[in-house]
Structure formats: C-alpha cells, structure tokens
Amino acid sequence: MNGIWNEQQQDIRAHYLTVGRELVRPTSSLRDRELGFDRELWRALGSSGLFGVHMPKQYGGQGLGIWEFSAALEGFSEGCQDMGVLVSFVAQVALVQAALISYGTEEQLQRWLPPLISGEKIGCFAITEQGCGSDVRSLKLAARRDGSGYRLNGMKWNITNAPVADICMTFARLEEGGANAISCFITETAKPGLTQSTPFELMGNRGTPIGSLSFDEVALDAASLVGIEGQGLRVLYFGFLVERIFTGVSIVGCMQPVIDECLQYSLKREAFGRPISDNQYVQGHIVQAYTQLELLRSVVGRGLTELEQGRDCSTLASIIKVLASESMHEACLNAMRIHGNYGYRRDHHYERLLRDSIGLFFAGGTSEIHKTVIWANLVAEAQNRSKAKDDLRLDAYTGEGAAA
C-alpha cells in the first residue's frame, strides 16, 4: 500500500520500519538457530506501541485506525524481515485482540487488553486439534457447565504462541449444545489443569513458538465466555478474516526488500563479462515478483477498505491469503536462484526466508481450503447471475418488469 499512505501514515510506516530493523532483524538468525522466543523483545515491541496502534486509548492503545496500523505493520515487516516474529505478532493482534474488541465485554476489555497491548502478556488463539485442523466445526475440546461456569477437557494442538502464552482464547464444544455447540472462552494459562507443551521443532518460522495445550478439568467462570454461548464460530471466523488480511499486509512489507535486494545484486553481479541482469530469465524472476507484489498490494488495500466499512470480505480475505503465501514463497525461491550458492548458505537470510515462507501455506488455513472457499463463492455468484437473468426473462414475458 506504499504510495497511498497519507503523511501521518508514511511517518508511522517509517518509524516502525526502523523499529523492525533495529530491534528484530539483528537477532533473527539467532532465534532461528536456537528455536528461541525472546520475551524481552516482545516487551520492547509493546513499549514501541506496535501492539496498540489501532487499539482504544482507554486500554493502552494509540487510538488510531486500521490504516495507521497497517502502515505500521507494513513498515515493521519490511524492517524486521522475520516471519517467525510476524506470525506470533499477527496471531495475537489479528486474532486475540481483534476478537476481544469486537466481541468482548467491557470487563473483559479492561482485564485482558492492557497487558496484551503493553507486551507484558502474550496471547494465543487456540483452535486446531489433532485430526481437526481446517474442519473447525468438528473440534472436540469439551466444555461442561459447572454451576455458573464451565469445565474444559481436551487438547489443542499446533497452536501459535501456545508454549509461551499467558492468555489463551480457545474454542470448545458445549455438552448438549446441539447445532450451536461451539463457544469461545478466554483464560490465563496459569490455571490448574492447563498444561503448555514445549515448542515443536519446526522447519521454518523457528522464532514462533508453536505447541499444544492440554485441558484437564480446567475451571472457568462465567466471565470467561467471549460473545454469546453457542456462537463461538462468529468470533472464530471474524478472527480468521482479520488475520488473513493482516497477513497480506505483512507479506507486502516482507516482499519489498527481497525484490530490491535481488535487483541491486543482479545489476552488480557479473558473469561472462556482463551483469546477470542482462539475462532475460533473471529479469523475469524479478519482474514476476514485482508484479505479484503490486497485485497483492492492491488486493490488500481493497480488503482493508471493506474491513473498515464492516462488509463481509471473507472470500477476499481468502484470496489475499493464497496470493500472499504463493507470492512470498515464489519470490524467496527465485531470490535464492538469483543469488546462487550464496543464497543457499545457512548464514544468508534467503535460506531462512525460504523455509519460513513454506509455513504460510499452512498457517491460518491451508491454501487448498482457501481455494475451496473461493470456488464456492464463484459457484454461488454464477448461480445468482443465472437466476437474475431468468427473473429478468420472466418479468419481460409477464410484463411485471414494465413501467406503469
């Protein structure tokens, strides 16, 4: 979206580009090697105001809008070039915080938002279970009514931030809940019966702690329910929508320096007495990445507009997620090709970025699931157009469509 920011948004973007470059990027390789999450870095990002750019001032935020936050996120992503940190960040801001703002009570907002915004606490959004990933309606974590509260039993698996989270927003199936059985709950993780695993060993995004949560008769009070009992899927799908759009914003930021670096390298690197940029296949790799970046930038801008206006943009969010995942992975793969053996070395960030980009195909729903969503929308739109044409023909035949 660079080029459509107003002056204030440009300043915000520039500020958080510096934050990402100075606070995150110098230690990205260390986190990747050691599978480490840096809580002090998280607090530093909180102190920078990044978690609360678009959050209300009464909860510790800056009180700005979604475009200002997107400018901050794009700049931060470009500066840090660390998808591990970005995955953890988006999981908290786009899922936990966004769901709270939209569905939480005033009491919940006052209790949970300030420590999340300040960076003192880390949030996770626990959906996935073993055997239940994309099929969220089949989740099995059980919620049993216990007096005025609930008790939760079961396990969540492959959850971003789970091993380090202080606050957990999770989804459980109410016993005897019928069709509207799934509800959303929020709790601190330091609860009797709630166990956090150690981080899973991952191929990429190794700065993102991903693991499991085990619930064994975990007692929650009535104030832990987020939204309306039995309507947890509304909270879930809203969080997904916001996450997918913000993921697109972050990938716009991540892709820009990849393209810039490849261009500069190709102009300077010589082979057979001339710059490798003279080769059409090198030009093609860079032009393709730039074309995909500008397309993604445009679609994300449309998504932000519709999100701001409160429209249903779930299909557009899936388009953004697919485009972001495929564009970033292809850009990183071609960047490695352009840099040759240099880009293949473990001490070069393209090797890390390429591994990290593969995780985008799974995080926030697989690309295959998103394409299924897009297909279903295409079919529905085609059927609606066909019906509209049939109705028009019927009106013309009966005279009902004629002016009085």
- The CATH superfamily label for domain 125-230 reads Butyryl-CoA Dehydrogenase, subunit A, domain 2 (2.40.110.10)
| Both tokens assigned to 195 | 């166990």
pLDDT at 162 over 60: yes
Residue 322 is predicted with a pLDDT of: 95
- Locate tokens 């991540």: which residue? 254
How far is Cα 239 from Cα 385, in angstroms, rounded to an integer?
30
Residue 319 exposure: Cα atoms within 13 Å on the Cβ side: 19
For residue 344, count other CB atoms closer than 10 A to its CB: 13
Q: Measured between alpha carbons, how far is 373 from 378 in angstroms, rounded to an integer?
A: 9
Over residues 90-103, the pLDDT tens digits come to: 999 999 999 999 99
pLDDT of residue 395: 60
What are 93-135's pLDDT values in tens digits? 999 999 999 999 999 999 999 999 999 999 999 999 997 767 7
Which pLDDT score is estimated for 35? 72
Q: For the chain, give the percent of residues with pLDDT over 70.
A: 94
Tell me whether domains 7-122 and 234-383 share a fold: no
Domain boundaries, the chain: 7-122, 125-230, 234-383
The CATH architecture assigned to 234-383 reads Up-down Bundle (1.20)
Residue that is written with structure tokens 């300043």 in the block: 11
> Cα–Cα distance between 264 and 277 in angstroms, integer?
9
Range with the poorest average pLDDT among 18-32, 248-262, 332-346: 332-346
Q: How far is the C-alpha of 99 from the C-alpha of 86, rounded, in Å? A: 18
Can you tell me the mean pLDDT for 316-327?
96
Instruction: Give the pLDDT band (50/70/90) at residue 214.
Output: very high
CB atoms within 10 A of CB 396: 11
Distances (CA, A) of 13 to 8, 17, 27, 163, 248: 9, 6, 21, 31, 16
Query: Beta strand 194-196 with 182-188: parallel, antiparallel or unpaired?
Result: unpaired
pLDDT computed for residue 354 by the predictor: 94
364: left (phi over 0), alpha (psi -120 to 50) or beta: left
So what's the pLDDT on residue 404? 36
What global pTM score does this model have?
0.92
d(C-alpha 189, C-alpha 7), whole Å = 41
Q: What is the 3-state secondary structure (H, E, C) of the chain?
A: CCCCCCHHHHHHHHHHHHHHHHHHHHHHHHHHHHCCCCHHHHHHHHHCCHHHCCCCHHHCCCCCCHHHHHHHHHHHHHHHCCHHHHHHHHHHHHHHHHHHHHHCCHHHHHHHHHHHHHCCCCEEEECCECCECCCHHHCCCEEEEECCEEEEEEEEEEEECCCCCCEEEEEEEECCCCCCCEEEEEEECCCCCEEECCCCCCCCCCCCCEEEEEEEEEEECHHHEECCCCCHHHHHHHHHHHHHHHHHHHHHHHHHHHHHHHHHHHHHCEECCEEHHHCHHHHHHHHHHHHHHHHHHHHHHHHHHHHHCCCCCHHHHHHHHHHHHHHHHHHHHHHHHHHCHHHHCCCCHHHHHHHHHHHHHCCCCCHHHHHHHHHHHHHHHHHHHHHHHHHHHHHHHHCCCCCC
Rounded CA separation 160/123 (Å): 9
Dmax over CA atoms of the chain, in Å, equals 80
Q: Is domain 7-122 classified as CATH 1.10.540.10?
A: yes
Encode pLDDT of 215-272 as tens digits: 999 999 999 999 999 999 999 999 999 999 999 999 999 999 999 999 999 999 999 9
pLDDT at 402 over 70: no
Residue 3: pLDDT over 70: no
